[in-house]
Amino acid sequence: MKSVNWGSSGQKVPAIAVGCMRMSRVPFEQVTELVDTAIERGVNFFDHADIYGKGECEEIFARAVKECRRKREDVFIQSKCGIVPGRMYDFSKEHIVESVNGSLKRLKTDYLDALLLHRPDALCEPEEVAAAFDELERSGKVRYFGVSNHTPMQIELLKKYVKQPVMANQMQFGAAHASMIRSGMEANMMSDGAVNRDGGIMDYCRVHDITMQAWSPFQYGMFEGVFLGSDKFRALNDKIHEIAEKYGVTDTVIAVAWILRHPADMQVLSGTMTLSRFEDILKALDIRLTREEWYAVYLAAGNILP
C-alpha cells in the first residue's frame, strides 16, 4: 500500500483512506464488506465526524469492525468535532471534550487515533482548544490532533497556544475543485483564478509537515454532484477518459491518480460505499501520471496557465 507521511510524526499512513460520512445510507452488510476489504487491502485509515449520520456512522462502523472480527489496533480511527447543528461552530473546551466522549462511546473504543477540528469557529478561543487537547492527550483519549478546512493563519493562531503538533488538515480537493493550486499558478494576475481563497494552505502544509487530506475528491461545489460523467465538465471528462484508455483503467482511477500525482502527497478520502468502486479506486495507487497528463487534466477543468 502506497503511504504518505503522517504529519511530522515520522509515521506513515495509507495514501487512500475511507471516508465514513455516507455509512448510514447503505445496508449494514455493505458497510461490513467495505470495511473488511479495506483493512485487508491495507487501507486501515477511517475518517469520521461526530455529526456524520447524526452519530450513526460511528456506531455502524464499530459494529462493522466487530462483525468482521477486526481488533482495535487493526484500524486508525480519526474523528472530527466542532460543528454543532443549530449552534453551528463550537471550539470551547467543554464541547470538544464532550464531543470526543460521545465519539468514543459510539465507536466503542477508549481512544481516537486522531481528532480534527472540523470547520473554523469564528468565536474560537485558542486557549480553550489548548486546554481541551491537553486534557484529551493526558487522559489517553486522543493520540494525534489536527484541523480541517483551516487557513494558515487560523493554524498559526491555534499554534500560539496548542502544544501538540497539527498533523493533518482536511480540505476539499479534486480535478474539479483545485483553487488551492490555481491561485498560486495565476499569482499576481488579474484573472479570477488568482483570487486566493485559502491563504496558500497547500504550500503552508508542505512547509510545516502537515498532511493534507483531500475530501470529496469526486464532487464539485459543496456537494453539488459528481463531476465524472457530468455534462458541466465535458472537456474534463473527455481528457480523463482519453488518459484512462491509455492506461486501461476507468475514469474514476485517473481522477484519483491526478490527486496522488501532486507532490504535496495528499491522502485521498474516498467516500464511496460501493465495494467495486472502492477496489477500482485503489488501482490509482499503481499509476503515476506524467507531467503532461497532469497539466492536461488541470487545463481541461477550465483552469488557465499563464
Ligand X SMILES: NC(=O)c1ccc[n+]([C@@H]2O[C@H](COP(=O)([O-])OP(=O)(O)OC[C@H]3O[C@@H](n4cnc5c(N)ncnc54)[C@H](OP(=O)(O)O)[C@@H]3O)[C@@H](O)[C@H]2O)c1
Q: Which parts of this chain interact with ligand X (CB under 6 A)?
A: 19-22, 47, 118, 148-149, 170, 215-219, 226, 228, 252, 269-274, 277
Which residue is listed with cell 481541461?
A: 300
Provide the minimum distance between the beta carbon of 129 and ligand X in the complex, in angstroms, as a whole number: 17
| Among 205, 208, 212, 226, CA closest to 269 | 212
Which residue is listed with cell 480523463?
A: 240
144 is catalytic: no
Residue closer to ligand X (CB basis): 213 or 303: 213
Residue closer to ligand X (CB basis): 134 or 265: 265
Residue closer to ligand X (CB basis): 112 or 273: 273
Using CB positions, name the residue nearest to ligand X.
Answer: 271
From CA 224, how far away is CA 145, in angstroms rounded? 30
Residue closer to ligand X (CB basis): 122 or 190: 122
Provide the minimum distance between the beta carbon of 190 and ligand X in the complex, in angstroms, as a whole number: 31
DSSP tag of 191: S
Indicate the pairing of strand 142-148 with strand 3-6.
Answer: unpaired
Provide the minimum distance between the beta carbon of 115 and ligand X in the complex, in angstroms, as a whole number: 13
For 177-180, which contacts have Cβ atoms below 8 Å and span 24 or more sequence positions?
Answer: 177/216, 177/219, 177/220, 177/221, 178/298, 178/301, 178/303
Provide the minimum distance between the beta carbon of 257 and ligand X in the complex, in angstroms, as a whole number: 13
DSSP, collapsed to helix, strand or coil, labels residue 296 as: helix
Q: Considering all CA atoms of the chain, what is the largest pairwise distance in Å, rounded to the nearest integer?
A: 57
Residues with catalytic annotation?
52
